[in-house]
Structure 1
Amino acid sequence: MDLAVTVVRTALNGVSYVSPGLAGRAAFRLFRKPRGRSRLRPDERPVMDRAEVGEIAVGGEKAVSYRWGTGERPVLLVHGWESRGSRFAALVGELVELGLSPVAFDAPGHGEATGESMTILDLRDIIVELDAAHGPFETVVAHSLGVTATFVAVRERGVRTERIVAISGVPDFAYLVDRFCAGLGLRARLHSGLRGRVERELFPGEEDIWSRFSVPRTGVEGASFLVVHDEDDDLVDPVHSRALADGLGDRAELVVTRGLGHRRILGDPQVAAAVRDFAVRERAGREAEPNPSPQPAAG
C-alpha cells in the first residue's frame, strides 16, 4: 500500500476514536477536493488553441467552455473527477474531420475554471446550459463521473440526445463514497459519517441523492449507447459497465480494452476511432433506412 495512504488511514482512524468530529471533517475535505488541478498537456495545446472559449456561471463559480466546428451536428464531451475538457483533444480532431461540432468544458475546480471543487449537480447544470446554447446534441460522450451526471441531466432536466458514449462510467454517487472509504481503510463510523456530511453539506435540501444519482436507476429512453471500459481500471470496476450494457440490451454495444486503466483510455486512438465509428454508423444507418410504406387501416 502507498505510504501516504497508510499514513492518512492511520491518522484518520486513530483520531476518530478521540475526536470523531475532527476526523469526519478531515475525511470530508479529502473526499470533496480534487488532488491537484490537471494541467494542459503539450499534445493537447494545438487542439485547445483552435477552440472558441466561453464561460458558464455555475454554483457561484465560472466553468469554461470550448467549442469547435461550424455548430452543425454538435457533440458534447463531459469530463469526470480530477480531469478537464482537454483530455478529449484526440477525439475532438476525429469529430471535426467528420463534420461534427464538439463542445467541451472545464468544471469548477478543474482545468481553467474557477473554484476548488465541483459536485454532480454542477456537472448536470453545465450540461443543461450547454444544451440550451448549442444543443440538442447528436451525441454525448462522457467519462467517469461525467457518465453519471449525463444520465441525471437527461432524466431530471430533459436533455435530449440520440446517442450516449459511456466511458469508464461511475455507476452511482454512492460508489464514489464507498470506494473512497475502502481505499483508505476507514472505519465504519467514518464511512457512515461521511455519507451524512455529503447529504448535509454537498447536497443540502436535495432528496434521495443515493437513488437519484445512479446510472442503473435513472434510465434513458430512446438513445443508443456505446459502453467502453478497460479491464485494468483500478478506480471503477468494469463489472458495472458490463451490467449497464446488459441492462440496455440491444440498444448498447460494449467495448472492452486492456492496459489503459481509468484515465489513459480517453487518449487511446482505438477508443477515439470506436467513438467516431459509432457516431458515423448510427447516423448512416438511420439515413439509409427506407421510409416504411403506409399500412392499410384495419377494416
Structure 2
Amino acid sequence: MEQIDKISYFILTKSIGLYINLMSYVFPEKAALLAYKYFTVPREGKLLPNAIPDILKEAEHEVLLHEDHSIQTYTWRGNEKKILLVHGWESNASRWEQFIKYLRKSKSTIIALDGPGQGLSSGIEFNIPQYAKHVNALVERFQPQYIIGHSMGGATCLYYHFKYNNPILQKMVILGAPSEFEILLSNYKKTISLNNKTFQLLTEKFTERFNLHPSEFSGKKFASTFNLKGLIAHDVDDDVVSFNEGKEIANAWKSAKFIETKGLGHSLHDEKLYQLINIFLFEE
C-alpha cells in the first residue's frame, strides 16, 4: 500500500510540473502563480471546529485578529514561566500533544497557535514571513520567555527573532528546522520537475512577494546575529530536512548547543529529548 501511495504521489507531482512547464511558454505569469500556489498552500493541517483533538480541548481558546487574519491560539495555564510552541508545515497545534503532556509537569504556562491556513486559523497560504507576523502578535500578547519551533516552525522562529528581536525572549529551541530557503526551492523544483524558465519566474515571485531574495533567507545567517541562548536538535535519520542544515545553524549560533539524535526521524518525538529541553529551559 505504501509503495502504491509513493507511485501515485510521483505521478501526481510530475503531472503538475509538466502542466506548469507547458503553461510557462504561453502564460508565464500564470505558470509562476500556479507554481507558487503549490509551494505555499498546505494540503493537510486544517481542523474542523467540532472535531478538534482532545489535547486542544483542554486548553483555553482565544482568537487574535492581526491585519486580515484570525489566529487561533491555545493556552494551558500554569505559572509565570511561558513557552510558545510553533508547529511546522501541513500541521497544527495538536502536533505538540506528546510534548505538551511532558511540559505540563514543569507547571509552566504553555501557549500554541495554528499557523496561517492551518488548524482553525484563517487563510490559505502558508509562508514564513506571514507566520512570523503571527508569532510576533502572540509574543506581544502573551509575553513568553521561551519559544520552541519544529521544522518550518523552527525556520519561522529564526526569521522572527532576526526581524523583530523582542527582548522578552530568553531562550529558543529549534527542532528539525531547515536553514536555507534556496534548498527548499531547489528540492521543490526537482520534485515536480520545473523547467529553468518557470523556476526563475517562481524565484522572482518570491522576491517580489517578500521583498527578500531566497538567497538572503538563511537560518544560519539569522542565527549568527543572535545573543539569546539556543538549543538545536536534529536527527541523523531525518528524511525531510537534511541533518547538515541543523548542524550549520548550530555552528553559526554562538550561544547555542546542538543535540544529535538518531532514529527519531523528522518528528523528534522522544521523552529523553523532552527531558534535555526541559533542563535547558528551566535548569541551566
TM-score, structure 2 normalization: 0.85
Native 8 Å contact 2:206 2:213 kept in 1: no
Please state whether the residue corresponding to 1:62 is helix, strand or coil: strand
**Partner Cα distance (1:238, 1:277) in 2:** 23
Provide closer, same or farther for how the CA distance between residues 71 and 55 of structure 1 changes in structure 2, counting only shifts above 3 A.
farther
The aligned counterpart of 1:244 is: 249
Checking the alignment, whether the CA contact within 8 Å between 2:177 and 2:246 is kept in structure 1 is yes
Q: Distance in 1 between matches of 2:21 and 2:242?
A: 26
1:50 to 44, 49, 58: 58
Identify unmatched segments of 5+ residues in structure 2: 1-6
Kindly tell me the number of residue pairs found equivalent between the two proteins: 271
Deviation for aligned residue 1:18: 4.6
- Please list every run of 5 or more consecutive structure 1 residues that lacks an aligned counterpart in the other structure: 283-299
Higher alpha-carbon Rg: 1
Structure 1: distance between partners of 2:116 and 2:256: 31
In the alignment, does 2:229 pair up with 1:227? no
**Percent identity over the alignment?**
24
Letter in 2 for 1:242: K
- The 5 Å alignment of 1:251-290 reads 251-262=255-266, 264-265=267-268, 267-282=269-284
2:207–2:214 contact (8 Å) kept in structure 1: no
TM-align CA RMSD: 2.3
2:239 aligned partner, one-letter code: D
For residues 43-74 of structure 1, the C-alpha deviation after alignment (integer angstroms, 9 at most, x for no partner) is x9332122111112234121101111235110
Provide the residue aligned with 1:285 in structure 2: none
TM-score, scaled relative to structure 1: 0.81
**Preserved CA contact (<8 Å) 2:85 2:149:** yes
Q: Deviations over 1:85-142 (max 9, x none)?
A: 111121112222112111110022001112212322222122222112221x332111
1:217 to 214, 221, 227: 221
Q: Matched residues in 2 for 1:232 and 1:4: separation?
A: 26
Residue from 94, 100, 106 that aligns with 1:86: 94
Does 45-54 or 31-40 show the bigger shift? Answer: 31-40
Does the residue aligned with 1:72 lie in a helix, a strand or coil?
Answer: coil
Q: 1:33 to 1:87 in 2, by over 3 A?
A: same
Task: Please give the alpha-carbon distance, in whole angstroms, between the structure 2 residues aligned to 1:157 and 1:20.
Answer: 35
Alpha-carbon distance between aligned partners in 1 of 2:262 and 2:191, rounded to the nearest angstrom: 22
Q: Please give the alpha-carbon distance, in whole angstroms, between the structure 2 residues aligned to 1:178 and 1:25.
A: 17
Conservation of the 8 A alpha-carbon contact between 2:87 and 2:152? yes
Q: Quick one: which amino acid aligns to residue 256 of structure 1?
A: E
Question: 2: distance between equivalents of 1:20 and 1:236?
Answer: 30
Q: For residues 56 and 110 of structure 1, do their structure 2 counterparts lie closer, same or farther at Cα, with a shift above 3 Å needed?
A: same
Give 1:35's aligned residue.
43
